[in-house]
């Protein structure tokens, strides 16, 4: 058990490995149609061919750039507006109803409008990704500020903390875990929205690879793009968690142990 605990990443590979083996043998023994569901061995061959041709790397680079830039814009705007509406009652009354109404608009409804406003090039794609990231970050920050324990603020005042001291010593530590969770949620939505963004006339990117695979009838290209999306999303989330871990080191929480 201790050896497994020292290698938690290996435990997470058990289920994908078992599913991959079942998929491979299901195709080989005719249980699963290989033309529509190419086995992992065929997907590996296709992925290697794409890498050697330089095709997969260019698609990954284009998608990652759109996600990271859109994430930065959306997370920044969501954090600022969340702080503003959470800290100010007047700002919340003025801005939050409109933001909540806009949040109810389906994401795909923005596609034709962004194309009309911003064209079919990078600006519209980045705007759509940023929009997807904005709302979970905004809601997370807003709700975190509203949920700060009033008794902690009163204790800070009793001990003579200034307004800035209360924000720095009480409010920010209280909202930090929720903010990081909201960033993780926004990052995941960024990867989802980039697919819709890359259907807006893109000539490269994993979303384009999905569309191209559909038009050419290549299930292997579609599945390679989907698996690459999953791996990139998991990698990006892991990096975000790793970067945020030092900020949350002060927390005394129960963690799962093997």
Residues 6+ apart with CB under 8 A from 164: none
Report the chain's mean pLDDT, rounded to a whole number.
84
Q: Residue 197 falls within a domain, yes or no? A: yes
pLDDT in tens, 185-210: 999 999 989 888 887 777 788 888 88
pLDDT at 186: 93
The more confidently predicted of residues 82 and 245 is 82
Q: Which domain holds residue 238?
A: 51-247
Residue range 151-160: mean pLDDT, rounded: 74
Strands of 90-237 (E only): list them: none
Residue range 133-138: mean pLDDT, rounded: 95
Q: Residue 6 falls within a domain, yes or no? A: no
Q: Residue 29 falls within a domain, yes or no? A: no
pLDDT in tens, 165-191: 777 777 788 888 889 999 999 999 999
Q: Residue 26 falls within a domain, yes or no? A: no
Number of domains in the chain: 1
Q: Give CB contacts under 8 A, 24+ apart, made by 95-104.
A: 96/142, 99/135, 99/138, 103/135, 103/139
Q: Residue 12 falls within a domain, yes or no? A: no
Q: Residue 173 falls within a domain, yes or no? A: yes
Question: pTM for the full model?
Answer: 0.85
Instruction: Give the whole-number percent of the chain exceeding pLDDT 90.
Output: 36
For residues 179 and 79, is the Cβ–Cβ distance under 8 A?
yes
pLDDT at 7: 64
Q: Residue 203 falls within a domain, yes or no? A: yes
pLDDT at 258: 47
């Amino acid at each position: 058990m201790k050896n497994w605990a020292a290698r938690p990443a290996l435990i997470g590979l058990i289920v994908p490995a078992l599913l991959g083996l079942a998929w491979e043998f299901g195709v080989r023994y005719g249980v699963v149609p290989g033309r529509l569901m190419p086995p992992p061995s065929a997907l590996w061959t296709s992925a290697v061919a794409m890498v050697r041709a330089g095709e997969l790397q260019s698609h990954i680079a284009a998608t990652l750039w759109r996600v990271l830039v859109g994430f930065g814009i959306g997370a920044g705007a969501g954090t600022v507006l969340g702080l503003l509406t959470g800290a100010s009652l007047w700002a919340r009354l003025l801005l939050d109803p409109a933001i909540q109404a806009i949040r109810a608009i389906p994401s795909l409804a923005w596609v034709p409008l962004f194309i009309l406003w911003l064209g079919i090039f990078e600006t519209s794609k980045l705007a759509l990704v940023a929009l997807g990231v904005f709302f979970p970050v905004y809601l997370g920050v807003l709700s975190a500020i509203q949920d700060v324990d009033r008794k902690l603020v009163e204790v800070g005042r009793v001990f003579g903390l200034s307004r800035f001291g209360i924000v720095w010593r009480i409010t920010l530590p209280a909202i930090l875990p929720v903010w990081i969770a909201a960033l993780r949620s926004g990052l995941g939505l960024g990867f989802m929205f980039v697919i819709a963004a890359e259907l807006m006339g893109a000539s490269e990117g994993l979303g384009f690879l999905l569309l191209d695979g559909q038009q050419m009838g290549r299930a292997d290209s579609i599945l390679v793009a989907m698996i690459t999306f999953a791996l990139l999303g998991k990698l990006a989330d892991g990096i975000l968690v790793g970067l945020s871990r030092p900020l949350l080191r002060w927390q005394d929480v129960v963690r799962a142990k093997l």
